[in-house]
Amino acid sequence: MADIESLLKEKRTFKPDSDFTRQANWNKKTTNEYRKLGDSNPTKFWAQMAKENVSWFTPWKKVLDWKPPFAKWFVGGKINVSYNCLDRHLEGENAWRKNKAAIIWEGEPGDTRVLTYAELHREVCKFANVLKAQGVKKGDRVCLYMPMVPELAIAMLACTRIGAPHSIVFGGFSADALRDRINDAEAKIVITADGGYRKGAPFALKPTVDEAVEKTPSVDRVIVVKRTEQPVDFRAGRDIWWHEAMAEASAKCPPAKLDSEHPLFILYTSGTTGNPKGILHTTGGYLTHVTTTHKAIFDIKDDDVYWCTADIGWITGHSYVVYGPLANGATTVMYEGTPAHPGPDRWWDLIEKWGVTIFYTAPTAIRTFIRLGDEHPKGHDLSSLRLLGSVGEPINPEAWMWYHRVIGGKRCPIVDTWWQTETGGIMISSIPGAVETKPGSATRPFPGVHADIFDEAGESVKGDGGGFLVLKQPWPGMLRGIWGDPKRFKETYWSTYDQTYFAGDGAHRDKNGYFWIMGRIDDVMNVSGHRIGTMEVESALVSSPDVAEAAVVGRPDEITGTAIVAFVSPKGTTIPDDALVGRLKKQVTKEIGAIARPTEIRFTNALPKTRSGKIMRRLLRDIASGREVGGDTSTLEDFSVLAKLRESDDD
């Protein structure tokens, strides 16, 4: 609540600059027209966008078939994502883009690769033929577990070319997490690399894949990119080198004419249970959504150099490193490594070196750079920048102002973009040539997006007020389901309110209709912009023979937004010492990955529970963040537990 109050005291506003507005893809007039149309007739608005921004082999017969909560967009339309991202930039009036940079890639050690649209097209066609030769057919799932190398984008586009949905697993996930995701999607093939570079050293990926695929009956092939030249074990008959397979592949591969609703990809995200959800996205609607939002919100032009720093393993990388920018014929920058290697100015060096004009990153990175000191960005010429973006978590006004001043040189508009893995593309954001911004607010819903704030009873909160963020109309990039689990899909998103999507975020809307996102209100933590379920971490902890019970909560953290705190009650004979802390952190890293490792583990012999046995996480959150335990404690079963937990604070 304290957060909400400080945010809502924010009174600064920034009007769009008239020079920016004059050249903008969407100015005030077009934005207002689209808003009007999107409000009165969202399907008509999205149909217009699908026509203007995306190329179809066969037009759709029906814009939307909505049987809540199941939506089909552009029904009967035939389309291909790789055609939209590649072929159409090599034909007709766009043919000049042939030799335009599609991907500017830089590895952490400083090696670089620039792929033009023609080259990228050739590589994608070849790899699509490799997939076909390995028996991958339309509809087969392909798992990608890769570093940030161009081959990742090539593999994604090759999958879309033949209609094989991909499932990308972030390279930081452990063998256990990878195996669960491969098995849930029943992937036929895994694409990986020997390793990648991070913090100045190679890290290995292939051994993790070897361990994971020991128990994945669906996998019959592993394709390996050579990146670090680390020695790898090769299983004959199963493992194939990328470069060897590519050497023989033909560069001719016509794009499959796919149904608009053909599955495009699955991406796993954390929920409120121990099992991550496979979020399913399909083809025509998703592409319309990301292409349109990318064009309007990032104001993309042919001479821009656009850099979104997200790893492709997350939704932001899917939608705004690869699909949105390439469908718009843009130059997209991909960087392999960590922000502060070899020095704390690596990112600013990249911006200067490549002349980046549009830069999209996360508040957690911005806060890290604030701490590292202004001298690093100030030591570089950042004058190429003209637009900045933020995503992943609420941006505090102080970080917003620093971003505006130090990175944007006070001349770049900032777009704060709210969306989720489930929404596919941006839902609430400023339009840089049209909307006045307020630091800390994502401003207003995108045209055609019917966002609202509901109270517990499902009534829209009128005027200035807070509640639960919901979406009242289907949108083209919306998730079509949870892979293999329609029941969970309905329960998670569509059962809180009737025919309304429940986002899981709390939000406030001010008297001007501006949205201020407050963050998750469910048992999902947002650590450095990455979603981690409390239940996932808890189940990793209780799988240790030393643990009787565990409860995990988030505590506010200046840099990462949230830090993970675990309350653990050890089994009878176990001694709760530092060695146990070490073992438990290792356990979580093994089962999920380092991103889920608790910052702090506190031992207790009992957890605060309600009489019906539910752990009262609210109280634990107060204790973890050193706050006075507030609110209603009348349902607490054993009051002495609280006192003991506070004592455990001393160690």
Binding site for ligand 7RM (CB under 6 A): 269, 314-316, 391-394, 416-421, 442, 503-505, 517, 519-520, 526, 529, 531
Which CB sits closer to ligand 7RM, 184 or 416?
416
By C-alpha distance, which of 157, 156, 128, 130 is closest to 143? 156
Compute the CA torsion angle 583, 585, 589, 590 (nearest 10 deg).
20
Task: Report the residue number, 109 or 556, with the smaller CB distance to ligand 7RM.
Answer: 556
Query: What sign does the CA torsion over 128, 267, 527, 380 have?
Result: positive
With contact defined as beta carbons under 8 Å apart, do 541 and 588 qualify? yes
Closest by CA to 4, choosing from 522, 468, 506, 453, is 506
Nearer to ligand 7RM, 264 or 442 (CB): 442
Nearer to ligand 7RM, 195 or 439 (CB): 439
Burial readout 83-112 (b: 16 or more C-beta within 10 A, e: otherwise): bbbbbbbbeeeeeebeebbbbbbbbbeeee
CA distance 541 to 551: 9
Which residue's CB is nearer to ligand 7RM, number 219 or number 287?
287
Sign for the CA dihedral angle at 215, 221, 225, 229 comes to positive
Rounded Cα gap, residues 479 and 472, in angstroms: 14
Give the shortest CB-474-to-ligand 7RM separation in angstroms: 18
Torsion angle, alpha carbons of 589, 278, 180, 322, to 10: -70
**Cβ closer to ligand 7RM: 134 or 273?**
273
Q: Least distance to ligand 7RM from the beta carbon of 516, Å? A: 9
State how far the Cα of 260 lies from the Cα of 73, in Å rounded to an integer.
Answer: 7
Question: How far is the C-alpha of 406 from the C-alpha of 376, rounded, in Å?
Answer: 10
Tell me whether residue 383 is exposed, middle or buried, using C-beta atoms within 10 angstroms of its C-beta: 0 to 12, 13 to 18, 19 or more. Answer: exposed
Separation between Cα atoms, residue 334 and residue 336, nearest integer Å = 7
DSSP-based three-state secondary structure for 474: coil
CB 485 within 8 A of CB 430: no
| Least distance (Å) between residue 285 CB and ligand 7RM | 17
Q: Which residues face 553 on adjacent strands?
A: 565
> Which of 40, 288, 387, 47 minimizes the C-alpha distance to 32?
40
For ligand 7RM, give the closer residue by CB, 60 or 314.
Answer: 314
Q: Which residues does residue 609 pair with via DSSP β-bridges, in sequence order?
A: 615
Question: Of 128 and 525, which has the nearer Cβ to ligand 7RM?
Answer: 525
Say which amino acid occupies 162: I
* Least distance to ligand 7RM, CB of residue 254, Å: 33
Helices (H), 41-116: 42-53, 81-85
User: Which one, 314 or 603, has the nearer CB to ligand 7RM?
Assistant: 314
**Closest approach of ligand 7RM to the CB of residue 394, in Å:** 4
Between residues 34 and 418, which has the closer beta carbon with respect to ligand 7RM? 418
Read off the amino acid at residue 235.
Answer: R
Q: Taking the complex as a whole, how short is the minimal distance between the CB of residue 445 and ligand 7RM, in angstroms?
A: 13
In angstroms, give the least distance from the CB of 611 to ligand 7RM: 31
Q: Which of 415, 454, 449, 407 is nearest to 434 (CA)?
A: 415
Cα gap 221→193, rounded to integer Å: 13
For residue 594, count other CB atoms closer than 10 A to its CB.
12
Classified as helix, coil or strand, 122 is helix
For 458, left (φ over 0), alpha (ψ -120 to 50), or beta? Answer: left
Phi, psi dihedral angles at 608 (to 5 degrees): -70, 130
Cite the beta strand spans of 477-624 per DSSP E.
481-482, 501-509, 515-520, 524-527, 530-533, 547-557, 561-570, 600-603
- The DSSP output letter for 406 is I
CB of 394 or CB of 570, closer to ligand 7RM: 394
Residue 342, preceding bond cis, omega within 30 degrees?
Answer: yes
Nearer to ligand 7RM, 129 or 396 (CB): 396
Tell me how far, at minimum, the Cβ of 415 lies from ligand 7RM, in Å. 9
* Shortest Å, Cβ 472 to ligand 7RM: 17
> Structure tokens of 625?
């963040």
Residue 129 or 429 having the CB closest to ligand 7RM: 429
Contact 245, 226 (CB under 8 A): no
CB of 314 to ligand 7RM, least distance (A): 6
Asked if 324 and 289 count as a contact pair (C-beta separation under 8 A), the reply is no
Tell me how far, at minimum, the Cβ of 316 lies from ligand 7RM, in Å: 5
For residues 283 and 526, which CB has a smaller minimum distance to ligand 7RM in the complex?
A: 526
Give 116 or 390: the residue with its C-beta nearer to ligand 7RM: 390
